[in-house]
Amino acid sequence: MTKAPPPLGIVVKGWPRLSETFIAQELAALESKGVQFDIWSLRRPYDKKTHPLHDQVTGTIHYLPEYLHEEPLRVLGAWLKSHRLPGYFKAAGMFFKDLRRDFTRNRIRRFGQACVMATSLPPETKGLYAHFLHTPASVTRYAAVMRGLPWSFSAHARDIWTNTEWDLSEKLKPGPGAAEWGATCTALGAKHLQTIAGDPSRVDLVYHGLDLTRFPEPPVREQRTVGAPFHMLSVGRLVEKKGFDRLIEAFALLPEDLDWHWTHIGGGALKDEMRAHAEAAGVSKHITWRGACDQPEVIEAMRTADLFVLPSRVASDGDRDGLPNVLMEAASQRVPLLSTSVSSIPEFIDSGVHGLLAGDDPKALADAMTRVAENPAEATRWADAAQARLKADFSMHPGIAQLEKRLRTMLE
């Protein structure tokens, strides 16, 4: 029996993506609650691996033309067909207004992708929900207006802090083409977007949290002794906002008698640059670069680490982390945490209680790593406290319940 088209379309940048486990977790959880949807992806996958979570999501995946020139007949046919949609000329007016302020190929691509999606959505579609408030939300907005559908969004980090004020305003404030509502995963981001929207009820704070049933119980750890080998782990893309360049410089400042090793998991555009940086700093012999790994591999690495380090910082273009789920994943395995006070990380870690927050400069990071290495009992207390806070305050379920309620109301 053919499955009936679902009432909801979910728009993402790419599917599947190793770096976006929070999206896979959310979609799998929504499906388990009976929310039916298809996925509309702006890009095809480029990761060689996937997480087990991706296999749990059963919604049909539709890939839009990543670049318009690669599928010209598909785009042209959709554009011609879209003229018959009730809201095409209204959406086109929005697009040309946006294009005057953002005259880029990316803006044109957004409208072309929206034409393809709007003309491909089944008649049963009652609403759209976009992950990320920049490009995916723009495509969603144009397509929703063409089809006369309500739409909503989930915002995260880069899409909040590097987007233009006018773009955010037109998506958030009540008016033609604006979102019905939105959600974001940090209190800092929620306050910022609520201020732009002018109405706090239009943007919900929904922490991603963790579905702890997917994670093993933490290992029974013998407390490390001072002077024993000190194994550190980081998981994150090799991009500027993750701060790994400054962490590498910090390694060169560690005490000479500290027997340390650092393992990095993740891909990223700066892979070659970071490895060269480690060579130049004279610390490459202490480093293992594992590249992209799936979630079971990540969790297994966490179970043997003495410290999880995430040296986040604000990038030169304003990009920054929100509240990285990987910190909570490490907490689930009782790994001591070291990060920075950037963005919303303090919403999970009280420094000196649930871990340690340092400055994002090399000296501060080196001092913090040394403190953890030389005070294993203190680090163990932090790890226990972080795991307790995770269980008490950062379960996935309240956020999923809120999203389910919002989505079902939108589709009524």
Based on the fold, state whether residues 134 and 265 are members of the same structural domain: no
H-type helices in 102-212, by residue range? 105-120, 135-147, 158-161, 165-172, 187-197
Based on the fold, state whether residues 130 and 141 are members of the same structural domain: yes
Q: At what angle do helices 165-172 and 187-197 cross, to 10 degrees?
A: 80
Q: Do the domain assignments include residue 3?
A: no
Q: What's the distance, CA 105 to chain centroid?
A: 25
pLDDT of residue 167: 96
Looking at residues 312-337, what average pLDDT do you find?
Answer: 95
Q: Do the domain assignments include residue 138?
A: yes
- What CA–CA distance (Å, rounded) separates 253 from 250? 5
pLDDT of residue 402: 96
- What CA–CA distance (Å, rounded) separates 275 from 229? 23
Cα angle at 393 between 389 and 398, to 5 degrees?
155
pLDDT tens by residue, 271-318: 999 999 999 999 999 999 999 999 999 999 999 999 999 999 999 999
pLDDT tens by residue, 92-106: 999 999 999 999 999
Q: Do the domain assignments include residue 297?
A: yes
Q: Is the pLDDT of residue 3 over 80?
A: no
Based on the fold, state whether residues 143 and 229 are members of the same structural domain: no
Based on the fold, state whether residues 66 and 135 are members of the same structural domain: yes
pLDDT of residue 222: 86
DSSP conformation class of 303: T
Sign of the CA dihedral with 79 first, then 80, 82, and 87 last:
positive
> With contact defined as beta carbons under 8 Å apart, do 248 and 278 qualify?
yes
Based on the fold, state whether residues 407 and 384 are members of the same structural domain: no
pLDDT of residue 4: 81
Based on the fold, state whether residues 161 and 293 are members of the same structural domain: no
pLDDT of residue 1: 52
pLDDT of residue 52: 85
Q: Do the domain assignments include residue 29?
A: yes
- What CA–CA distance (Å, rounded) separates 285 from 277? 12
- What CA–CA distance (Å, rounded) separates 32 from 227? 48
Sheet architecture: strand order including 260-265: 287-291, 260-265, 230-235, 307-310, 337-340, 356-358
Q: Do the domain assignments include residue 2?
A: no
pLDDT tens by residue, 376-403: 999 999 999 999 999 999 999 999 999 9
pLDDT tens by residue, 209-262: 999 998 999 999 888 999 999 999 999 999 999 999 999 999 999 999 999 999
Residue 62: which H helix or E strand, with range? Answer: strand 61-63
Based on the fold, state whether residues 232 and 143 are members of the same structural domain: no
- What CA–CA distance (Å, rounded) separates 145 from 180? 12
> With contact defined as beta carbons under 8 Å apart, do 10 and 35 qualify?
no
Q: At what angle do helices 135-147 and 165-172 cross, to 10 degrees?
A: 40
Q: Is the pLDDT of residue 2 over 70?
A: no
Q: Is the pLDDT of residue 18 over 90?
A: no
Based on the fold, state whether residues 181 and 270 are members of the same structural domain: no
Query: Which token pair is 33?
Result: 């609650």
Q: Do the domain assignments include residue 321?
A: yes
Query: Which token pair is 340?
Result: 């920075």
Based on the fold, state whether residues 224 and 200 are members of the same structural domain: no
Mean residue pLDDT across the chain: 95
Which of these, 358, 376, 380, 375, lies nearest to 367 by C-alpha position? 358
Structural domain of residue 181, as residue ranges? 8-208+396-411
How large a percentage of the chain has pLDDT more than 90?
93
**Distant-in-sequence, close-in-space partners of 14: CB < 8 Å, separation ≥ 6:** 41, 42, 43, 44, 45, 46
Based on the fold, state whether residues 178 and 258 are members of the same structural domain: no
Based on the fold, state whether residues 144 and 43 are members of the same structural domain: yes
User: Number of folded domains in the chain?
Assistant: 2
For residue 264, list its beta bridge partners: 234, 289
Q: Do the domain assignments include residue 349?
A: yes
> How much is the pTM?
0.89
pLDDT tens by residue, 75-87: 999 999 999 999 9
For residue 129, list its beta bridge partners: 10, 152
pLDDT tens by residue, 54-68: 889 999 999 999 999
Looking at residues 310-328, what average pLDDT do you find?
Answer: 94
pLDDT of residue 238: 96
Based on the fold, state whether residues 146 and 257 are members of the same structural domain: no
Residue 10: which H helix or E strand, with range? Answer: strand 8-14
Q: Do the domain assignments include residue 310?
A: yes
CATH number for the domain spanning 284: value is: 3.40.50.2000
pLDDT tens by residue, 172-206: 999 999 999 999 999 999 999 999 999 999 999 99
